[in-house]
Amino acid sequence: MFLQLESIMTSELTFPVLECFHIIGFAMAAGTIALVDFRMLNLGMTRQKAADLADDLAPWTMLGLGLAFLAGGGLFMSDPDLYYLNHAFQIKMVLLLLALILHYTVRSKAVAGPEGSGKWVAIISLLLWAGIVGGGIFIGFAGDAA
Amino acid sequence: MILSLAQWAQATPFFTALRESWYVYPIILSLHLIAIALFGGLILTTDLRLLGLVMKKRPVADVVGQLRGLKHAGFMLVAICGILMLGTKAEEYYYNAFFHAKLALFALVAIHALVFRGSVYSRAAEFDAAGRIPGIAKLAAALSLLLWIGIVIAGRGIGYIEPPLDKIHALRAPQTSDIAVVVRR
């Protein structure tokens, strides 16, 4: 019976549980990033400065990113070849790299910059993170290239 | 009654077209998750503020009040995408235990709103004036986080239940998502 339980844990439950952690993690990260982007676009939280908002939310963005990375790494390890060859996954990784570079360079400067200056950066950031989520969904639909 | 409604809905030309297109369904699912990220981040920020874990220097009323409009917009987008997906496979959803769990959790969210809107969310300015957040507000925030996390889990679970093929009457074309599931296993 113990063996049975163990096999369920490793084969059937691991993947969906990791998926749930991945979703909660990226919701946390992309949600808090989007909130700062909305602020830069003057669409919400306008009583705060963008820089203050970004500082306040940064630990939760990091926590979400960490969770999404760890769970996402686990999902990838379940079948590396399938992911590696999947076009949606490849596009997702390129977008992720671009989003992270933007986040820690151009965007962090724009957040601290004068009011209303970072609108294009905010729009690009929102589009990149939306593309990353969409890329993740299409992994399951695109099939593998092999 | 509900079953025949479900069968009728997914047989309409609109939902049939959605189901049979290989890319429209994943696009709606993507929008659903993008909106979840957005909406989830707003719920998280609101609830963490009530728990005193984020934006502590900002008044609670400021945070809760400013996020309300965005939260409603996010929820509308999540719900519209969700209903579109429900329509494409309504008959399968009728038998899906995780979908039942998700509906039950939504009922609890509605009860949560009825109970706590008056006693917590519309009284945020009083907490600022008093300089402390009462226990009931922290309870409301913690329950809200648990409920929404539960809804995410139930939502993800829906895709893992095989439809009872002996009970499904509506014709269902094979889908690329079916192949993906087989490949993954």
Q: Which residue of B has its CA nearest to A38?
A: B70
Rounded to an integer, the average pLDDT of B148-158 is: 95
pLDDT at B135: 94
Q: Which residue of B has its CA nearest to A78?
A: B184
Is the pTM above the cut of 0.95? no
Using a pLDDT cut of 90, give the percent of chain B over it.
Answer: 66
pLDDT 10s digits, B24-82 = 999 999 999 999 998 899 999 999 999 999 998 899 999 999 998 899 999 999 999 99
Question: Does ipTM surpass 0.90 in this model?
Answer: no
Q: Which residues contact B75 (CB under 8 A, 6 or more apart)?
A: B39
- Angstrom CA distances, B35 to A1, B38, B61, stand at 42, 5, 24
Q: Which residue of A has its CA nearest to B62?
A: A47
- Our measurement of the distance from residue B59's CA atom to the centroid of its chain's CA atoms, rounded to an integer in Å, reads 28
Does B76 or B166 have the greater pLDDT score?
B76
State residue A120 phi and psi, 5-degree precision. -65, -35
pLDDT at A78: 87
Q: Which residue of B has its CA nearest to A146?
A: B183
Closest residue by Cα to residue A53 from B117, B43, B55: B55
In the A/B pair of chains, how many CB contacts fall below 8 A? 114
Q: Which stretches of B22-134 are DSSP H helices?
A: 24-50, 60-88, 90-95, 97-119, 124-130
- The answer on pLDDT for B183 being more than 80 is no
pLDDT at A142: 79
CB-based contact A24 B40, cutoff 8 Å: yes
Q: Which residues contact A31 (CB under 8 A, 6 or more apart)?
A: A64, B37, B38, B39, B40, B41, B42, B44, B45
Q: Which residues contact A48 (CB under 8 A, 6 or more apart)?
A: A39, A56, B55, B58, B62
**Pseudo-torsion of CA A120, A123, A129, A135, nearest 10°?**
-100
In A19-48, the residues whose Cβ lies within 8 Å of chain B are 19-20, 23-24, 26-35, 38, 43-48
CB-based contact A20 B152, cutoff 8 Å: yes
Closest residue by Cα to residue A123 from A30, A37, A59: A37
Give which of A24, A55, A85 to mutate to test B binding, by max B Cβ within 10 Å. Answer: A24
Measured between beta carbons, which residues in chain A are less than 8 angstroms from residue B48? 60
Give which of B45, B46, B72, B102 to mutate to test A binding, by max A Cβ within 10 Å. Answer: B45
Q: CB count, 10 Å around CB of B165? A: 8
Give the pLDDT band (50/70/90) at residue B173: low
pLDDT at A117: 82
Over its length of 146 residues, how does chain A's per-residue pLDDT go in tens digits? 455 555 555 667 889 999 999 999 999 999 999 999 999 999 988 888 999 999 999 999 999 999 999 999 999 998 888 898 999 999 999 999 999 999 999 999 999 988 878 899 999 999 999 999 999 999 988 764 43
Tell me how far apart the alpha carbons of residues B75 and B68 are, in angstroms, rounded to a whole number: 11
Q: Which stretches of B120-175 are DSSP H helices?
A: 124-130, 135-158
Q: Which residues contact B84 (CB under 8 A, 6 or more apart)?
A: B18, B28
Q: Which residues contact A34 (CB under 8 A, 6 or more apart)?
A: A126, A129, B37, B38, B41
pLDDT at B178: 59
Measured between beta carbons, which residues in chain B are less than 8 angstroms from residue A81? none
CB-based contact B37 A134, cutoff 8 Å: no
B71 within 8 A of B39, measured Cβ to Cβ: yes
Burial of B13 (0-12, 13-18, 19+ CB in 10 A): exposed
Q: Which residues contact B2 (CB under 8 A, 6 or more apart)?
A: B94
Q: Which residues contact A133 (CB under 8 A, 6 or more apart)?
A: A26, A30, B30, B33, B34, B37
pLDDT at A72: 95
Q: CB count, 10 Å around CB of A1? A: 5
CB-based contact B183 A38, cutoff 8 Å: no
What amino acid is encoded at B127 in this protein?
Answer: F
pLDDT at A13: 85
Measured between beta carbons, which residues in chain A are less than 8 angstroms from residue B34? 30, 129-130, 133-134
CB-based contact B33 A44, cutoff 8 Å: no
What amino acid is encoded at B32 in this protein?
Answer: H
B161 within 8 A of B97, measured Cβ to Cβ: yes
CB-based contact A129 B37, cutoff 8 Å: yes
Measured between beta carbons, which residues in chain A are less than 8 angstroms from residue B42? 31, 35
